[in-house]
Every structure is written in structure tokens, then in C-alpha cells.
Amino acid sequence: MSTAFQHIPVLLDEVLEYLEPGRGGTFVDGTLGGGGHAEAVLLRLPESGRLIGIDRDWEAVHAAENRLLAYGGRFTALHGNFFNMQSLLSEIGVTQVNGILLDLGVSSHQLDTPERGFSYKTEAPLDMRMDATAPLTAREVVNTYSQDALAHVLWDYGEERFGRRISEFICRARTQKPIETTLELAEIVRSAIPAKYRNEQQHPARRTFQAIRIEVNGELRELDRAVEDACDLLQKGGRLCIITFHSLEDRIVKQAFRRFEHPCTCPPSAPICICGKEPKAKILTKKPLTASEEETAENSRLNCAKLRCMEKI
């Protein structure tokens, strides 16, 4: 049974401070979810302002449309992946914007809806698709990837130190019968991890589920290019704010922002710059902003949330 699509916006005060929707213009929420951030932005936009929301999850798009009906033509919801933001916006005649927000990772609604198959805590079919129309599911990854390919997924996207052992256990289990559900997979992972590590603070299957989810949804494969495209869409003075939830995606965002601010590729020993690359943004958050103790007390998922912001120059 699906839960109602709720969206408690993460780091909301910080996002609004750096995004500055009060400046007016056109803004984009590239990860719309249930519309929590979007509604807060619309409340602060001048009447002439516009917000475009993008999400790959049809449930999120419909929920946000219903939530934000009162804003009429000032709000437009698009179904798609923010990786394709430039083409999605071009289709509705938008080529430059004043601000972009990206809240990466899986939504609370997706985690809390058992049949979506994201959680290792509840019984559900292995799915994990953010876009329910996408062809690749977690079931296919778990049951058809080679042992070596699985091990690479678990290390590359979950930094799981027992990835090779877990992939061996998965491949052994699926020779008996296909692995169909989240709890089946979670139990296989738990049994693969040496006993003395099973009682750590984090659930033993957390990193495995993260890795498979990232693989299913291609969350990191083109993230660097997507951040580059977002920067290119901004007008001079436009702001890009990105919230990350794990070190892999945060590293990509941090490196991209540094490249925008310091693009020179000349050797450090060169007396002058000859590459001709000029800065196109300045970083506004020299260190990432994190959730307050009050926020994390209400929602433990925010423990790892980091916000980085930049401005186009």
C-alpha cells in the first residue's frame, strides 16, 4: 500500500538563504519530490517569478502538481531526469535560469513505500527504481550480474569492504532459486558479513542496498556532466545549490565546483596561465553546510546531508 507522498524539505533555511528566490526570475527544482522545497521557493518568489520542477518519479510529479495548484502558471512540473535538464527546459522554451536546486538521493517517500523495494527493513519485491517505467530493476542486478560485476558495484557505489564476499554469497544463493525480495537479499548480505561486524551501528545491508540502488538508477554515472550542464544554464549571478547524502556524490559535486572556480590546467610551475581557461563560478560555501541537531533529531536520515552552493560569474 503506497504512502501519501510527503516531503519534509532538507536544510530548508540554508537553501533559501543561498538560492535567494526573492531576487525573482526563473528557478528550477531538479529533484522535485513531493514539492516541499518547491513550495518554500514559490512562497518567496515575486509574482513575476517562475519555478520549474523536475522529477523522474511520476508519483512525485503528480503529488507536487496537486500540492502547488494554487500557484497556477508560476509552477510547471516536468517528468524526467535532471541529468537531461537542458533538453527538458529547452522543450518549454527555457535556455537560462536564475537558480537551480538539486536534492540528491532517494526520497523519504520512496524509502517508506514498501512496494518500491528500497528498504532493507520491510518485505517487498526487489525493485528500487526511482522511475517505475525504467527497465532495470534491483532484481535483475542481483540475479543476472556476474559475481565480479556485483563486487564492483558494491565497492564502487557502496564502498562495501566485504563486497566480494557478499557477491559470492548472492551468486551462490541464486543458484538455488532467484532472489525475489528485499528481506531475502538483506539476510544473504547479513550472513555474508563476518559475525563480529554484524552488530555495528548501521544495518549490515545498508551499503549493499545503497550500491544496488545507485546502479539501478544510474545516480553517479553522469552526475559530473549534469552539474556542468546546470552551471551552464545559469545566468550571471545565478545560484546552484546541491544537497548530497553520501561521500561518493558529494565528492563529485565538490570537485566540479572547484573546477568551475579554478579551471586552470597549467602546471603549477608555469609562470603564467597559458591554457586560457577562466573561472565561471565562485563557491559560496567553502565548507558544506549540514543539518542542525534539531533537524537530525527529527529525521536521522539527515545525519549525512551536506549542502554546497555556488554562484555563476
Q: Which CATH number goes with the domain that contains 189?
A: 1.10.150.170
3-state secondary structure at position 187: helix
Are 94 and 237 found together in one domain? yes
pLDDT surpassing 70 at residue 254: yes
- At 123-157, the pLDDT tens digits run 999 999 999 899 999 999 999 999 999 999 999 99
Q: Is residue 256 part of a domain?
A: yes
pLDDT, residue 127, reads 96
pLDDT surpassing 60 at residue 116: yes
For residue 149, the one-letter residue type is A
Report the C-alpha dihedral over residues 220, 223, 224, 225, rounded to 10 degrees.
130
Sign of CA dihedral 295, 243, 90, 238: positive
**Partners of residue 306 on adjacent β-strands:** 244, 290
Higher pLDDT, 209 or 291: 209
* Percent of the chain predicted with pLDDT > 70: 96
Q: What confidence category does residue 2 fall into, taking pLDDT thresholds of 50, 70 and 90?
A: very low
Are 213 and 127 found together in one domain? yes
pLDDT, residue 3, reads 46
pLDDT, residue 111, reads 73
Q: What confidence category does residue 158 fall into, taking pLDDT thresholds of 50, 70 and 90?
A: very high
For 106, counting Cβ atoms within 10 Å of its Cβ (0-12 exposed, 13-18 middle, 19+ buried), the class is buried
- Provide the domain limits for residue 38: 12-105+220-312
Q: Is residue 3 part of a domain?
A: no
Show which of 217, 240, 256 is a domain's final residue.
217
Are 212 and 225 found together in one domain? no
Show which of 192, 217, 242 is a domain's final residue.
217
- At 34-92, the pLDDT tens digits run 899 999 999 999 999 999 999 999 999 999 999 999 999 999 999 999 999 999 999 99
Q: What confidence category does residue 293 fall into, taking pLDDT thresholds of 50, 70 and 90?
A: confident
Among 219-228, 248-257, 271-280, which is the least confidently predicted range?
Answer: 271-280
Cβ atoms 222, 137 nearer than 8 A: no
Q: List Cβ neighbours of 313 (8 Å cut-off, separation of 6 or more).
A: 236, 237, 279, 280, 281, 282
Cβ atoms 96, 233 nearer than 8 A: yes
Which helix (H) or strand (E) covers residue 64, if one does? helix 58-67
- At 180-228, the pLDDT tens digits run 999 999 999 999 999 888 877 788 999 999 999 999 999 999 999 999 9
Q: Can you tell me the distance from the alpha carbon of 76 to that of 148, in angstroms, rounded to the nearest whole number?
A: 44
Show which of 190, 217, 244 is a domain's final residue.
217
pLDDT surpassing 80 at residue 6: no
pLDDT, residue 199, reads 73
pLDDT, residue 8, reads 72
This prediction has a pTM of 0.90
Higher pLDDT, 262 or 107: 262
Q: How many domains does the chain have?
A: 2
| Mean pLDDT over each residue of the chain, to the nearest integer | 92
Out of 31-35, 118-122, 177-181, the most confident range is 177-181
pLDDT surpassing 80 at residue 112: no
